[in-house]
Structure 1
Amino acid sequence: MLATKDMDFMKPTITFNQRAQTVMVTGGPVPQLTEDYQDVFRRAGEMAACSALAHHLKNDPNTWPYGRFSIHWKTSDGDLDAPALGYGEATDGCFTEIAGQWYGDESGMATAEIPSSDKAEIRIADATVKAIVATWNTDTTHTNEDALTVNDGINLGFDPVENAAYVWTDDPNRRFASRASQSNLKGAAEEALCRKLTAEFNSNKTWNYTRWAVAVFDPYTGTRQFIGSGTCTP
């Protein structure tokens, strides 16, 4: 997960606290590392630990004692009590789901905004943004929307932690202020995203991205708001 963001230098140390039945994932120290990088480490550590523990709990429910995990970050080499960044239990589920449906969130988008170093991700991101714009422009015959251009700021990035593609725009030309235009963007993005993600999933055995989320800038709150997310069927 870290490697796709060129962060594999943040190698974790894995230890076990048998008394607390907890697997501990510890990173650092990395001088002058910003908090957004530490947050990616936290999320990757939580997902890796949760997935591994859930697998063992399912296969060896009577003998595997570890169901909890905690993520820590050292501030110095001599830091014997590294502060905790996060913790959880594998029995709570590993993905952001409500009633069985996956939803994008701000943490996933923040990870997606970090530039990818993976060639396949870069290729798919470029092709998918073009496909979203082309789909929107094709649909204008019945949506009555103006055509999109590169100046409308459609961006795409990947979150390797939850295997999700995020599409967002800060809407520099106020194209997506209405509910109708947001619905049209969601439809064009979902159609183009699932077409590209599914095609890559079926042809590339290492491709894991099947989830998607779309967000637009809300001038009233000054933040991006999610207008849709889901899972493509490979």
Structure 2
Amino acid sequence: MLATKDMDFMKPTITFNQRAQTVMVTGGPVPQLPENYQEVFRRAGEMAACSALAHRLKNDPTTWPYGRFAIYWKTSELDATALGYGEATDGCISGIAGQWHGDESGMATAEIPSSDKGEIHVADAAVKAIVATWNANTTETNEAALALNDGISLGFDPIENAAYVWTDDPNSRFTSHASQSNLRGTVEEAVCRKLTLEFHNNKSWEYTRWSVAVYDAYTGTRQFIGSGTCPS
């Protein structure tokens, strides 16, 4: 997960606290590390530990004692700060009513440029597909055509295997409910088409989820307008 963001230099140390039945994932120290990198390490550590423990608990429910995990970051060789913790029995993917939804932490990870050539290629193709799909539907939606320089961006969150689409809407194209609904439908159609194609052609491809957010001038922040999981 860290390697796709060129962060594999943050190699974790894994230890076990038998009394607390907890797996400890510890990173650092790395001098002058940006704070958002620590957040990605936390998310990656939680997902990796949770997935591994859930798998082990399923296979050895009566003999495997570790069900908890804790993520730490060393601020020095002697001191470490707790970044997060959880239990594998609570599930590893967040959801609402059984549906996956994108969130700010996933968006922040997706905004960090990918170092993986496959992700870069798919991201470029998906943005072009969004623009082409939107423009193909303008006769039905009565929307103005989009161009590649209209501020549509796409990045990947390798922790929850999601493609995030966002726009800061420089031309105020997506302020109405109708235009946001049209964008949501366009993203789902175009991005899922690209993700599903890559999933079938590339055995190592794991991205199956999508989310889209637009800039809200009233709050000065991006607001999520849609998320989902692509059909396999």
Q: TM-score, normalised by structure 2?
A: 0.99
Residue 8 of structure 2 corresponds to residue 30 of structure 1:
no
Residue 179 of structure 2 corresponds to residue 181 of structure 1:
yes
Pairing partner for 1:122 from 108, 111, 120: 120
Larger displacement relative to structure 2 (203-212 or 70-79):
70-79
Aligned position for 1:212: 210
State the distance in 2 between where 1:8 and 1:70 align. 20
**Runs of 4+ off more than 6 Å:** none
State the distance in 2 between where 1:195 and 1:96 align. 24
Aligned position for 2:65: 65
SS class of match (1:78): coil
State the distance in 1 between where 2:94 and 2:88 align. 13
SS class of match (1:150): coil
Aligned position for 1:103: 101
State the distance in 2 between where 1:127 and 1:151 align. 14
Q: Is the 8 A contact 1:170 1:224 kept in 2?
A: yes
Aligned position for 1:17: 17
Aligned position for 2:163: 165
SS class of match (1:151): coil
State the distance in 1 between where 2:94 and 2:129 align. 27
Q: Is the 8 A contact 1:153 1:170 kept in 2?
A: yes
State the distance in 2 between where 1:214 and 1:200 align. 20
State the distance in 2 between where 1:31 and 1:83 align. 15
> Mapping of 1:186-197 within 5 angstroms?
186-197=184-195
Q: Summarize deviations over 1:146-165 as a string: whole Å, max 9, x none.
A: 00012320000000000000
Tell me which amino acid in the other structure corresponds to 2:231: T
Tell me which amino acid in the other structure corresponds to 1:149: A
Residue 14 of structure 2 corresponds to residue 4 of structure 1:
no
Shift of 1:61: 0.4
Shift of 1:232: 0.4
SS class of match (2:137): helix
Q: Is the 8 A contact 1:96 1:104 kept in 2?
A: no
Unaligned runs of 5+ in 1: none
State the distance in 1 between where 2:40 and 2:166 align. 19
Aligned position for 2:51: 51
Unaligned runs of 5+ in 2: none
Residue 94 of structure 2 corresponds to residue 78 of structure 1:
no
Q: TM-score, normalised by structure 1?
A: 0.98
State the distance in 2 between where 1:95 and 1:78 align. 33
Q: Summarize deviations over 1:106-127 as a string: whole Å, max 9, x none.
A: 0000000000000000000000
Tell me which amino acid in the other structure corresponds to 1:176: F
